[in-house]
């Protein structure tokens, strides 16, 4: 079947192919069921679009980004300051630590302020991860290669580019390959669906269901 593109929004089939499809449509008994040629209701179309957009926004790799040890490094340093140690209330002390580290320029493409806001911690949390982050700082490793998972600070499970010293980056990317696959899959699905639908007769034509097939065999139909 050759597609025609002179009126793609109306139909991708020729008049002869449309006529054959209409004749077959009206000739099929479908076990007594009728099948009209209606457009998909606009609310359903909008719901599908909303579902796709929402799914992509909610699963965007950036939103699922785990907190790295690097974003809490300054918190760890602040905990050792006399000003913080003098505060007896944990909540007040944590609020002071957050305030002290707002707007501090970091050697990273990420805004640590935004990441800390997305992954808040309590003073008890900091007491648990503090010695582990200090141990990493003493080794001189890149703290962005380590993630805070619960009460543990672990080596990130990502494989990025190699640095000049031969070590490999373990930083979570803002984009991943699975996301690219999803985009191409959805584009292929919707384009393929549109082509199939547009190869059918236009929705402006409706089949007649007044034919009596009760005494006709499949061969006669």
Q: Could you tell me if residue 215 is inside a domain?
A: no
Query: Is 164 or 176 the better-scoring residue by pLDDT?
Result: 164
Which neighbouring-strand residues pair with 152? 149
Tokens matching residue 40: 């998909």
Residue 160 lies in domain: 69-173
Tens-place pLDDT, residues 87-116: 999 999 999 999 999 987 776 667 788 889
Which pLDDT band, with edges at 50, 70 and 90, does 212 fall under?
Answer: low
Distance between CA atoms of residues 9 and 100, nearest Å = 60
Tally of structural domains, the chain: 1
Tokens of 204: 């402006």
Which residue is listed with tokens 């579902």? 51
The per-residue pLDDT for 109 is: 67
Q: What pLDDT sits at residue 62?
A: 64
Q: Read off the pLDDT of residues 149-168 as tens digits, 9 standing for 90 and up.
A: 989 999 988 777 787 888 88
Q: Can you give the pTM of this predicted structure?
A: 0.56
As given in the structure block, the two tokens for residue 170 are 């373990």
Q: Is the pLDDT of residue 6 over 80?
A: no
Take residue 39 and report the two structure tokens written for it: 């457009």
Radius of gyration of the chain from its Cα atoms, rounded to whole angstroms: 31
35 located within any domain: no
8 A C-beta contact, residue 111 and residue 68: no
pLDDT band at 218 (very low <50, low <70, confident <90, very high): very low
pLDDT over threshold 60, residue 22: yes
SS3 158: coil
Q: What is the pLDDT of residues 38-92, one digit of tens each?
A: 888 899 999 999 999 988 887 776 666 789 999 999 999 999 999 999 999 999 9
Would you say residue 210 lies in a domain? Answer: no
Q: 23-40 pLDDT, tens per residue? A: 888 887 666 666 778 888
Structure tokens at 50: 């909303």
Answer yes or no: is 102 within a domain: yes
**What pLDDT is recorded for position 203?**
82
Please give the pLDDT value at position 217.
43
Minimal CA–CA distance to 141: which of 107, 167, 176? 167
For residue 131, is it within any domain? yes
Residue 93 domain flag: yes
Residue at 115 is within a domain: yes
Question: Is 158 inside any structural domain?
Answer: yes
148 φ, ψ (degrees, to nearest 5): -95, 115
Six token digits for residue 161: 């580019």
């Amino acid at each position: 079947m050759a597609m025609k593109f002179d009126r793609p929004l109306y139909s991708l089939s020729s008049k002869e192919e449309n006529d054959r499809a209409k004749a077959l449509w009206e000739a099929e008994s479908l076990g007594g069921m009728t099948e009209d040629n209606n457009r998909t209701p606009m609310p359903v179309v909008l719901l599908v679009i909303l579902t796709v957009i929402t799914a992509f926004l909610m699963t965007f790799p950036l939103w699922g980004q785990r907190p790295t040890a690097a974003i809490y490094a300054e918190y760890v340093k602040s905990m050792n300051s006399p000003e913080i140690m003098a505060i007896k209330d944990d909540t007040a002390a944590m609020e002071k630590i957050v305030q002290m580290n707002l707007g501090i320029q970091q050697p990273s493409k990420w805004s640590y302020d935004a990441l800390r806001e997305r992954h808040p911690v309590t003073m008890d949390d900091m007491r648990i991860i503090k010695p582990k982050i200090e141990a990493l700082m003493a080794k001189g490793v890149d703290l962005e290669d380590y993630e805070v998972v619960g009460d543990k600070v672990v080596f990130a499970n990502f494989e990025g580019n190699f640095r000049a010293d031969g070590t490999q980056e373990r930083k979570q990317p803002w984009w991943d390959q699975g996301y690219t696959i999803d985009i191409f899959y959805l584009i292929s699905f919707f384009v393929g669906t549109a082509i199939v639908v547009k190869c059918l007769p236009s929705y402006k034509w409706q089949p007649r269901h007044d034919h009596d097939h009760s005494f006709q065999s499949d061969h006669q139909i």
